[in-house]
Chains A and B, each alone.
Chain A
Amino acid sequence: MIALYLLLTIPLAGMALLALNGHKPWAGRLNNWLNAATLAAALVLALIVLRAGTLISDDRYWLVDAFNVYLIALTALVGLTTGIFSGPYMEHEKEIGRLNPRRLRLYYSMYQGFMLAMYLILVTNNMGILWVAMEGATLATVLLVSLYRTPESVEAAWKYFILCGVGIAQALFGTILLYYAATQVLGAGEAALEWATLYTHAGEFDPAVLKIAFVFLLVGYGTKVGLVPMHSWLPDAHSEGPTPMSAILSGLLLNDALYAIVRSKMIVTQAVPGPLPGYLMMGFGLVSFLVAVLFLHRQRDIKRLFSYSSIEHMGTMTFAFGIGTPLATFAALMHMTVHSLTKSAIFVTVGHAAQIAGTQRMDKIRGLIATQPQVGWGLLVGTLAIAGFPPFGVFVSEFLVLVATMESYPWLTLPLLLGLAIAFGGLFRHIQPIVFGRRPEGQQPVAANMMPVFVHLGLVLLLGLTIPGVLADWFDQAAQLISGGMPQ
């Protein structure tokens, strides 16, 4: 229990501390220590839950079970490594004059604020608080997207703000409808918004209301996941915001938004007869996947390229969660993990690559291996991993998604395979000249901390070669929790 409270209080304190001291030279280190402390708390929490099973606090505000505990650990890990990367990165941005001390303070403070919102989304037991935390995460990241104050970044932030604001309003309406359906059975009060209570009573709720609620929840939180056609904020925000933010947006925020959808689905599928919620998710997921792989080919900006790749992978996960069999859910959970690790590693290398070349335009970034082999190889290996090459973990999870699809909806494997091939072509067409091309005159290496990249890619490789027993059990438990007891 203490670990849980630490998980929330450390970022809260960090937000306040860094709001006052974020411009000092040691702010980056303080940020790292804070993240390391939360990671420790998260690991302790994970151990407790692993031993004792589902943890619901006495006041019923917090809930940690097999599904969210590994996401908490993942969030803490990516938060720490991205923080480590952002120290030297932000120093460089300050040197070239894109940042001033005030904005640096804003950056560090909002970084902790964002982490706080992420943990709150994951540990809360209350669907209303979940919404509040999601909106809080939007507000924190909006400020980060416009950090550089260029016209493009202001535009990207405004679009993000408006689109996600509208989206999240739909999600609140869905939550209200859910609460409405629950009060008919449970009576008014906080219990009718508590996820654990809703989950046990879901079968008694009115299916018609829950159906409408789920549509609103899916569209609302789906906007944050970046599902097509509500995706248009995502490439803009990723390409114009600072790179560490792209890493945590892709690696964490999208996951957590999908987490909210899956939590809602777990309630709704019990009440709604028939496969409607699953079909809705499969449809949105597949369309997002296919649209994103086609857009990969048209990109000119390296960060936009990888943000479309994020849409592609989130689409795959939504699709897999939509299928809903234990195998598909297992695959989706694993895909969530490996995608977070790989994508945040890629954004770290992309950030360095853009600093080396002084631009984000792909036709200007050339010869990375010649200039700075670590960055070049990091980008190449990361791209190999995200494209689903064996032996990386993404290959395994995508393979599992394909197997699960073949079991339930065999004819849908065709568009999936086709999409994977197109995505592969789209990524390598752009990355090959960037990595191996001729080195432009006078290109200098930059100070880079590649440790996060190696750690992440190493973990992804490990997950591809062998899934440790503990983790496999864990995924299994979570998959049973999510799809168990559900009529297939």
Chain B
Amino acid sequence: MATLESLYGQAVFLLAALVLFTSFVMLAQSRVTTLVNLFALQGLLLTGTTALVAIVQNSPHLLVSATLTLGLKVILIPLLLHWLILRMGLHRATDEVRRPLQLLLGAASLVVFSYWITLPVVQLSELETRNIIAASTATLLLGMLLMISHRQAISQVVGFMAMENALFFSAVVSTHGMPMVVELGVAFDVMVAAVIFGVFFFQIRESIDSLDVDALSRLTESEESES
């Protein structure tokens, strides 16, 4: 039994490390199509983790959230994004990262920072959760960094959804998932958000002729007079 427990712990560690790793790869990725695929891969890792926890910890309601994650984050949203990329002719578009070295160094320090802030949690909890909270905090912050550093609207959406992945990951592993009502609500919100994102791509392209959000810069706090 003890070996099984430790095997389970190690499997969860491995999955957490892989989720964090996909976040790093996404950060350095410049092609939007690959970015979406990486996001789907992260969703798959999340599904795997959820299913694993559901089986080992005997909490069947997590199987429902695993199915939800699979449906939404591995299949539906990546498909929607791919469809949008095709519709907008962006499959060759790149989203060049301006200072990749600094970006990755920044990302690495964010990971260290996450371990530092979650230090007090470590004293509280049993073995397998403590590293996980740090890793998911890091994934959350990396998602934010992805949104800041990339300029394509699609990359920002992927960053946003990656943050949601991190949140689900921490919820699943540290507390065996949130109550069902909440999870359904969150999944519903994510789905609506994805649809609205899609609508917005068309609106943005209509107004600035591309999806490069750096061009969205009319509203500023500067004094210069407009025509």
Chain A positions within 8 Å of B, measured between CB atoms, are 126, 128-129, 131-132, 135-136, 139, 142-143, 146, 149-152, 154-159, 161-162, 165-166, 169-170, 172-173, 176, 179-180, 183-184, 188-190, 193, 206, 208-209, 211-212, 235-236, 239-240, 295, 298, 300
Contact = CB atoms under 8 A, between A and B. Distances in A.
A139 B195 CA distance: 10
Contact of B124 (A136, A142, A179, A206): A206
Interface string B128-172: 000001000100100110010000010010001001101100110
A240 B219 contact: yes
Contact of B117 (A150, A188, A193, A212): A212
B182 A193 contact: yes
Contacts of A239: 219
In the A-B complex, the 5 residue pairs with the smallest Cβ-Cβ separation, listed nearest first, are: A128-B182, A208-B120, A132-B185, A151-B207, A155-B216
B162 to A, nearest CB: 10
Nearest to A157: B200
A327 B98 CA distance: 52
B89 interface: no
Contacts of B219: 152, 155-156, 159, 236, 239-240
Nearest to A215: B117
A180 B132 CA distance: 13
A180 B143 CA distance: 22
Interface residues of B, number: 52
Q: Which of A169, A190, A206, A211 is most buried by chain B, counting CB atoms within 10 A of its CB? A: A169
B138 to A, nearest CB: 12
Contacts of A172: 167, 186
Contacts of A165: 160, 193
Contacts of A136: 189, 192
Contact of A126 (B118, B181, B206, B218): B181
A131 B185 CA distance: 9
Interface of B: 59, 117-118, 120-121, 123-125, 133, 137, 140, 143-144, 147, 153, 156, 160, 163-164, 166-167, 170-171, 174-176, 178-179, 181-182, 185-186, 188-189, 192-193, 196-197, 200, 203-204, 206-208, 213, 216-219, 221, 223, 225
A173 B140 contact: yes
The main secondary structure of chain B at its interface with chain A is: helix
Contact of B160 (A150, A156, A169, A211): A169
Contacts of A189: 179
B200 A132 contact: no
Contacts of B125: 184
B216 A179 contact: no
Given A179-B178, A209-B120, 17 more contacts: A126-B181, A128-B179, A128-B182, A128-B185, A129-B185, A131-B185, A136-B189, A136-B192, A151-B208, A156-B219, A157-B203, A159-B219, A165-B193, A169-B140, A180-B175, A188-B175, A239-B219
